[in-house]
Amino acid sequence: MFVTTVAAGVLLAGNALAGGPDRLKSMQTEYVRNPNQKAPRAYHFGSQGPGGIFTNHGSHTNRLVPVYTFGRKVDLASVSGVHSRYRDPRRVEKAYGFLPANTVNPEAEYADQSDLYKIQKDAIDRGLKHLFIVWFDGTDWQTQQAAAVVKTGRIYTEGKGSGLIFQDYTAQGSAQYGYVVTSPTHDQNRPNVDTQTVQIPKASLGGGYDALIAGPSPWQLGRFGNQAPGYFKGQSASPGDRRGVEKVGRVLHAYTDSSQSAGEMISGVKSYNNGLNVADDGRLIPTLFHELEQKSWKLGTVTSVPFDHASPAGMYAQNVYRDDYQDLAREMLGLKSIVQEVRGVASKRGLDVVMGTGYGINTSERSLAAQGKNGVPGSLYITAADLKSIDVRHGGQYVVVHTEAGKNGSLALQGAAVQAARASQRLFGFFGRDGLDHLPYQTADGGYDPAPGMGRGGKPGEAEVYAPADRLEQPTLAQMSRAAIQVLAANPDQPFALFIEAGDVDFALHANNLDNAIGAVLSGEEAVRVVIDWVEQHSNWDESALIVSSDHGHYLVIDNLAALAGKK
């Protein structure tokens, strides 16, 4: 069966690195110091195989992504196994807009990421009152396996695994597990943010999923997997990778980006990479959050990266280009954006809670150009004028809290949440600082001392260093999640939906930094624990549901699992 019901109890292990001293930081530091040396390692990134260089790929892959669901109204089995759309060519064609080569699989157990919209919508139609989505951006099965093994010292090589709370928690017998295809319709696009139109070039690589290469499950390669490892690199494949795929008589498929992936999960519609809820033909796609807004649900997004980054923005905003941040902020916060101006659609109400980083980060020449003709120099992720206009102190609808020098960010956020909840106001949390566009990494051993990752151009990068002020002034993802729930649940009779993203997992994996990535997974795990605690104390798994998943994977390959586990 594709979907499994979890029978194990909750594992309450801490975040201490199994095996003693900070082994993972030592490994990561050594691998980055000599990335081009061919040598055996515990792990590497890319298609080069064990014993080669450290990395030949720093972007996404087309791997299957795990899904964990909790709640009796969520039915993962309805879109997987014998109900998988990948068994039916007509349903595959409907998802992509064309029939991708080598994608139909009569034995497919996996679902499609767009099917997650259906199970959420069905749960709501059956009376769900509280919907939680926790999104581990960039996290595939291999990354979760590494995090669980490093955390506990226990090894597993297939299946759901154990060691992380979302792997072990039963939700009173309602927990289910599966995995999905995340591929887009196309990789290339030509967006115009000023006219909000887009063109898909004929040369664009189409999406799809070839189980004979990529495998029937996240832990299994297909028959041609070892001969064509470059398949996972999709549009980033090298000439050698492409030859390997061609040699076995198959074709490449595009891997997704975060904006398209988040959008299809919350709308049920696949589209091109780098757009947000805009179809290949330019149609604006409504999301589940828009539907819930019409039903008077409260809505919120929380992330450890910029608040209007691809995934949280994908819950609500519509734009042909994911980097048009200032307009994405306007949509998320209920202000008039370019989409309303040029497409003639009504302004949105805005989310009730929006939290993330981006504070103190200003436009560059390149990022300002991405904002289009209405771009404003200065603050990149929200203009100074827009930030002032939403603040309740200036007649707006949001209690605004942001990074302040020397001020405890967690306490400031807590105070703002209390104010917003008591006064039935909205909450906007804006954290980070210049040079730090994500929350500080609490690395694999629980410390805040990151190892270095790979930098630009495939060269070794520098490790991030945090001053004591960074720890003081920035809340954690779990604290942000708790504050968001406090505001959204202030009226017990009003249903709500909350999206929580551990977005910094993706940032770490782009840098081929497993130490930071595992730390980000463990930080996200604490946010999952916040959700579970709230449901157990204030609700139940009949009226609440939690979905834990991701948008895509990276190309982490574990060569020595025992070394990660701290075993000789």
Q: Indicate whether 479 belongs to any domain.
A: no
Q: What is the pLDDT of residues 74-92, one digit of tens each?
A: 999 999 999 999 999 999 9
**Res 513: pLDDT:** 98
Dihedral, CA of residue 150, residue 155, residue 156 and residue 161, to nearest 10: -50
Q: Give residue-wise pLDDT tens across range 438-460.
A: 999 999 999 999 999 999 888 99
| Burial bucket for residue 299 (CB in 10 Å: 0-12, 13-18, 19+) | buried
Confirm whether 327 is domain-assigned. no
Mean local confidence (pLDDT), 333-352: 95
In a domain, 88, yes or no: yes
Give the pLDDT band of residue 21 (cuts 50, 70, 90). low
pTM, entire model: 0.96
Check pLDDT > 80 for residue 317.
Answer: yes
What CA–CA distance (Å, rounded) separates 211 from 215? 4
Does residue 456 belong to any structural domain of this protein? no
The torsion region of residue 544 among left (phi > 0), alpha (psi -120 to 50) and beta comes to: beta
DSSP state of 353: E
Q: Is residue 454 part of a domain?
A: no
Q: Tell me the per-residue pLDDT of 109-130, one tens digit each, with 9 for 90 and over.
A: 999 999 999 999 999 999 999 9
- Determine phi and psi for 450, rounding to 5 degrees: -60, 150
- How large a percentage of the chain has pLDDT more than 90? 94
Whether residue 293 lies inside any domain: the answer is: no
Question: What pLDDT is recorded for position 7?
Answer: 35
Average pLDDT over residues 324-332: 98
Q: Are strands 496-501 and 544-549 parallel, antiparallel or unpaired?
A: unpaired
> Residue 227's domain spans which residues?
1-277+540-568
pLDDT in tens, 384-441: 999 999 999 999 999 999 999 999 999 999 999 999 999 999 999 999 999 999 999 9
Domain membership flag for residue 72: yes
What gap in Å lies between CA 286 and CA 39, rounded to an integer?
50
Residue 190: phi, psi to the nearest 5? -125, 90
Which residues have CB under 8 Å from 288's CB, separation 6+?
Answer: 117, 120, 121, 124, 266, 267, 497
What pLDDT is stored for residue 6 in this prediction?
Answer: 38
Residues 470-524 pLDDT 10s: 999 999 999 999 999 999 999 999 999 999 999 999 999 999 999 999 999 999 9
Based on the structure, what is the number of domains in the chain? 1
CA atoms 322, 327, 329, 333: torsion sign: negative
Let me know if 363 is exposed, middle or buried by CB neighbors in 10 A (0-12, 13-18, 19+): buried
Q: 180 — phi, psi (to 5°)?
A: -135, 155
Rounded to an integer, the average pLDDT of 331-355 is 95
Average pLDDT over residues 26-51: 96
Strands 197-199 and 43-45: unpaired
- Supply the pLDDT for residue 306: 98
Residues 373/365, Cβ–Cβ less than 8 Å: no
Q: Is the pLDDT of residue 4 over 50?
A: no
398 falls within a domain: no
Quick check: 144 and 161 in contact, CB under 8 A?
yes
In the predicted structure, residue 568 carries a pLDDT above the cut 80: no
Quote the pLDDT of residue 347.
87
In this prediction, residue 456 carries a pLDDT of: 82
Residue 266 has pLDDT above 80, yes or no: yes
Count the Cβ atoms, other than its own, within 10 Å of residue 243.
12
Q: What is the mean pLDDT of residues 313-320?
A: 98
Q: Summarize pLDDT for 225-244 with one digit per residue, the tens.
A: 999 999 999 999 999 999 99
The pLDDT assigned to 257 comes to 97
Residue 107 CB neighbours (<10 A): 10
What would the pLDDT profile of 57-67 be if each residue is shown by its tens digit?
999 999 999 99
Q: Give the closest residue to 215 by CA, choosing from 204, 199, 226, 230.
A: 226
